[in-house]
Structure 1
């Protein structure tokens, strides 16, 4: 099969002088990416590292992130991204769980590594510093200058691990998802085909690279297009300036980023005429947000649904034609995540694993070649996730008779109130239409009478700070059933989010459940 490391070489040979990556004011051609990743691969092999070795990186967004990944690909090492938002116990768990042997540290993240340097070195991990002053045993640029020749390429098998992607860590310790060589290669090729990307596109996906989404900024391996990455981290004003400066043609944002981008564009009016397609995914978007984005950016739109366990390999697509049909005559389609790509089988099944008929709520099961190998060092969890080659996604959804999938919610976020199942996204889709609401998260909070009660955490728009709990609840009349209607609303300035702007519902639920007085029925300290 064609592995990603071969694609690096082909891009360098066929498009040597073309820009592979822009990052702020820096850029790198395909030839430079290939040569520098070769040198780092040689340096790693000289240090005694080989196929199967875990090589980690603790960094903000830089071009070196991809040199590191490409070098790992070439020698069959396993790439490990360290989430800079993790607390130290989570970082320590990732380093130990993955058996990391090398940690490459961005000088901007030195404070994290330096505070716990003794523990890191006790684990036998070699430290490599880059992108600024440091006192680590190895310096990245020095290693590259001293490396000569090309690395030795070990034999690879399709199910060899390409990288570990650790879960967000919102509940318990992070789980390492083992993603394979075949899964990575298939994700790149199928994504390019399904999205309609060409070598002349310029792609911008500004999420943090520590986890599975790093593969999205490797889509260019399949067609040599140019990729723009954030310089450091995502900032909405910088994102829009980059789109204007680099003439970005296709971008992907999660819904919370789109909210902020719309407000920034309305305030600054950047020249976004190069942008032809805005993709969105990662978490459900409301129909209102979709309409607002189309109006603000004047672009085609494409919705996607994927999981870490699918190598970020897109499972479904709601195409531009689907969006047009929804806006013209079928508004209900905007609640869909689209139809399943040809590289997956998908079924909706009940709690016993039996397939359900169309338009019936159940768990989404998947089968395909981009699925994970399993959870690292967790055989029971891996066995629970896979049944006869099918992955149980833990996502609740349904599929209509035309094949459109509707993602209702994660099982762990479903609220059971008075024996009635309530899907938070259903409530959020209604409430976001309220003129005073900028962002919202709906969760279940323990209740002495109903078991759980629906609670909404709301970020009001700056122009509607006077909105009240009664206003929000009254708005639900005739739109939501009584069990779905929030029993209380809490107003905040900002929702708790991950580094990739995903709302941390587990933390929000814990906060509401444990802090006295946030909801009126929780007046006693446990």
Structure 2
């Protein structure tokens, strides 16, 4: 099939022709222009074809955040091969399990990971990632390599990338996104307008990183990568490049705010990021207090909260005055997204931005893609104006005394209680109630944490009595996913049930033995 339609490779061809000297990506002192990226990608096509990579093949890339992988990304798109990134923090066993599911023809790895070990375990060739030429040690770049053969390029419905989900149990699930889907998810519109640099704190195995990068590249502008999601590094990158856009998960925004606050010193106001025009967040519940602090730190920016997933893209967004007007909401449906709520409140999404299924896993695909709808597993409410609010997960519903309780709904109330810095809610097994609602609290002052009575009092008038916590456990921090900062509730419940909570004060208060009438 000839290269046709909405394909990712065309993004870089057009940008290199229009703005060859403009930086496409920056990491620290390293800069890669659109012209350099285009030329390196063309050389890379020859190198990859030289080791047998063809259209439809899957290539696993296991590396830290580095500009070296960008020519590989573009070259794979031009060949029509599928880019499969892995996180550098994975152990050899974890990487082996995930890579084996992808059934790749090649593993490209940098010197920070045990690529040879994983390659041997899954029986594929391994090449090193180094220098702007990309793969080394077994994948030489031919002299005078030319542009890719158009006849062998992909069509728009061909798979472009596979992102593996971060589920902690079971077989890893690879989310397939086509060229067309990724073009539509990241397209800036038919008229290019001045955009400015965007700082991306996400690691390069995460869908968010490549979505942000493609948004910038389609607009023919610069993405600024950081080696790690460190507050000081992000602040420095924004200021150095006069970035106009920054997207962080709530936990990373807090690091940014802590860095800015430290600039002020005792009795002085903290620093600000005045060049930002858009300050974005999402992926997990964002307390109103954090949103207010972001708005203060980025006084010239439109504040936006996004809700979405690797499978569905950007599902909904809240911005502007609605951030204050609709606290706790994640906004209205995004472009091309149709949202409805199932009988139990589960969010169902339909539209052209959906994924194509889980790689080589028909059962998992059938479980979530039904009648053209993606069943997200998220539970939500929708108000009379059509604003969506996520209240929990289908699999995380707590069944207590015959009632169903969504953890997110309770967490939203607890985080507004005096003395609570962060809170998560889990269900614990109980012979009388089925499950007990347990509040896991990071106190603002560990020496004086809010007791169970204070937490329950904060729920009065805001939540039905059966949703009030009946146990509280104090911890120093909540376990979260590394990339998105989502709370790992299942892990918390397992730790508490096994009496293995080691961080923070060990005090536990309970009214589990109260009779049902006490609700």
User: What is the deviation of 1:53?
Assistant: 1.1
**Hey, what does 1:252 align to over in structure 2?**
247
CA distance in 2, matches of 1:522, 1:217: 50
**Hey, what does 1:129 align to over in structure 2?**
128
Q: CA deviation digits over 1:104-126, x for unaligned, max 9?
A: 2122x23x435xx1x52252322
1:156 lines up with 2:154 in the alignment: yes
CA distance in 2, matches of 1:494, 1:75: 45
**Hey, what does 2:176 align to over in structure 1?**
178
User: What is the deviation of 1:477?
Assistant: 4.0
3-state SS, counterpart of residue 240 of structure 2: helix
* The 10-residue stretch of structure 1 (4-13 or 451-460) with the greater mean CA deviation from structure 2: 451-460
User: How many residues in Structure 1 have an aligned counterpart in Structure 2?
Assistant: 490
CA distance in 2, matches of 1:35, 1:441: 49
Cα distance change of structure 1 residues 284 and 147 upon mapping to structure 2, 3 Å threshold: farther
**Hey, what does 1:228 align to over in structure 2?**
224
User: What is the deviation of 1:520?
Assistant: 6.7
Q: TM-score, normalised by structure 2?
A: 0.88
3-state SS, counterpart of residue 159 of structure 1: coil
Cα distance change of structure 1 residues 383 and 203 upon mapping to structure 2, 3 Å threshold: same
**Hey, what does 1:359 align to over in structure 2?**
none
CA distance in 1, matches of 2:17, 2:273: 32
CA distance in 2, matches of 1:193, 1:464: 49
CA distance in 2, matches of 1:256, 1:489: 22
1:275 lines up with 2:263 in the alignment: no
**Hey, what does 2:291 align to over in structure 1?**
290
Q: Does structure 2 retain, via aligned residues, the 8 Å contact 1:167–1:211?
A: no
* The 10-residue stretch of structure 1 (342-351 or 470-479) with the greater mean CA deviation from structure 2: 470-479
Q: CA deviation digits over 1:57-80, x for unaligned, max 9?
A: 111111123222111101011111
User: What is the deviation of 1:137?
Assistant: 9.8
3-state SS, counterpart of residue 339 of structure 2: strand
Q: Which has the higher helix share?
A: 1
**Hey, what does 1:344 align to over in structure 2?**
337
> Structure 2 unaligned runs (5+)?
264-269, 513-519
| Equivalent of residue 218 in structure 1, options 207, 214, 222 | 214
User: What is the deviation of 1:478?
Assistant: 4.1
User: What is the deviation of 1:45?
Assistant: 0.6
Q: Does structure 1 retain, via aligned residues, the 8 Å contact 2:176–2:358?
A: yes
**Hey, what does 1:264 align to over in structure 2?**
259
| Equivalent of residue 74 in structure 2, options 60, 70, 79 | 70
3-state SS, counterpart of residue 449 of structure 1: coil
CA distance in 2, matches of 1:145, 1:100: 23
Q: CA deviation digits over 1:162-203, x for unaligned, max 9?
A: 1111111323232111111111111011xx359x99443211
CA distance in 2, matches of 1:290, 1:426: 18
CA distance in 1, matches of 2:292, 2:136: 51
User: What is the deviation of 1:242?
Assistant: 0.9
Q: Does structure 2 retain, via aligned residues, the 8 Å contact 1:4–1:221?
A: no
**Hey, what does 1:334 align to over in structure 2?**
327
Q: Does structure 2 retain, via aligned residues, the 8 Å contact 1:40–1:147?
A: no
Please report the RMSD computed on the Cα atoms of aligned residues, expressed in angstroms: 2.6
> Structure 1 unaligned runs (5+)?
352-361
User: What is the deviation of 1:247?
Assistant: 0.9
1:438 lines up with 2:414 in the alignment: no
**Hey, what does 1:29 align to over in structure 2?**
33
Q: Does structure 2 retain, via aligned residues, the 8 Å contact 1:415–1:444?
A: yes
Q: Does structure 2 retain, via aligned residues, the 8 Å contact 1:83–1:210?
A: yes
3-state SS, counterpart of residue 27 of structure 1: strand
Please list, as runs of the form range in 1=range in 2, the aligned pairs for 1:13-28 lying within 5 A after superposition.
Answer: 13-28=17-32
Q: Does structure 2 retain, via aligned residues, the 8 Å contact 1:236–1:257?
A: yes
CA distance in 1, matches of 2:438, 2:192: 41
Q: Does structure 2 retain, via aligned residues, the 8 Å contact 1:171–1:506?
A: no
Cα distance change of structure 1 residues 247 and 514 upon mapping to structure 2, 3 Å threshold: same
**Hey, what does 1:452 align to over in structure 2?**
435
Q: CA deviation digits over 1:46-100, x for unaligned, max 9?
A: 1111011111111111112322211110101111111233344332122111111
User: What is the deviation of 1:257?
Assistant: 1.5
